[in-house]
Structure 1
């Protein structure tokens, strides 16, 4: 958000009011995936039909026609349904293009979703040569065809380039001491996720909105830990310091730090960046350049941290 305008989220939202970052697939990538799937499907269909015609040469015309209709229903229609059900939304074409079919809430699809999509695909793609599907995708805000609307599904991109987040720097020693003894075992994962998302997006938020969010999150951490936010510390710096402390504890659990760092000493006098975390600690690392200690005179010196609002 910027300029005081609230950002609207059109995508699905979890029970903790955290927006899921589903990236709807573009029409071109979906079209390429469909072409790959159709090429494979019709190749299999032709091979099966050749085998059927060879094995049913002695049957009458009515029997051959019935077998041909059954093969058509099983391969071009039933094949994609079975593939999407078993692969949870990743056909060969979607796999090649980095796409997946998911439910509107972000969960994996099931047989009923694949069945509705496959049944509608006969009309949208096979009978109309994809014209109906293209028009529906262009009209839809999230590029959904008619089958997706009826099935409650969405085609999303899976392989999205992610920019490397700045390393999280250590807070000032006086602030690190304040959060060092906190009991973080009672803090739920949903609250950690909210803190991480706030720290990763704080620079994109309006100043007033960011300050209000930081205050609510800091209050939630204080309630869970049983220790109030230190006097004179802004909520944004407190959140960054607590997130840094939790990451360090996770890193010490997996033995990722040298002995002197594990005992509480930060290389470079506490001002430098910490080596990249691996494993569990990386999961809760906020995408923000540090966790400084604004709110105290001289508390920002040497940290390299631009404090959140």
Structure 2
């Protein structure tokens, strides 16, 4: 299995007026990738490598600070935005059957101007993160529109359930992830940088600094995902699979430990696009293959499994 590559130029952030024929061709390519593999590289999305590098640089500045400097911005410390903030190393367990993941992160879930943001050493953190959040939002909405068209649906079918991104009532999250170097002598049995899991919401946009990600094929084998500078890695998440009655497939993936003797670190930016909390997700083909569920209700159940009592 290989990850398909699709030129998204026809609907990129740099395009305003696109011919119907171009969008039709793009939608068919995207449909083939997301029904067959569930992952696809988007080239010419309009988001540049320079933008990605800028967010990674400021994120790393914050995440390399001592824990006591990051503690005031911890996840669940911000009223009305429980997923916003810093997640320390070894607190999350995306595969409940493995030890805690060897990664830490900062989640941007809300653009509310009243939220306290890191400053100090991470000068410009808020501006850089929120600007990238908005760019990813625009790209994600364009992707959702093309995905709806690829299934012969009204383009508003998915868009109408994502009207509150960046505000209360929607948990779409820009997650800046940092995987520190690994001391293999201290690693717990079965521990990974990120355990096997599928994503929770509609779709995910991923930008990474290096390899390490593996995707599970239909046969159950894990396949290494190449690093493609400048491209966005898009994958289907669980609610979208339910929404489309399994037309689009949400695929299990993981991040391995580096080999013994490899002291390299890893960074990635994941933009998890989530339906509005109150959006009711029902099978868009009119079937009852999956029972209705709200975006927020489904997400909360998945968070319970990932974080346990934390």
TM-score by length of 2: 0.22
Name the structure where strand makes up a greater proportion of residues.
2
Higher RCO structure, 1 or 2 (CA under 8 Å, sep 6+)? 2
Q: TM-score scaled by structure 1?
A: 0.22
Which has the larger helix fraction?
1
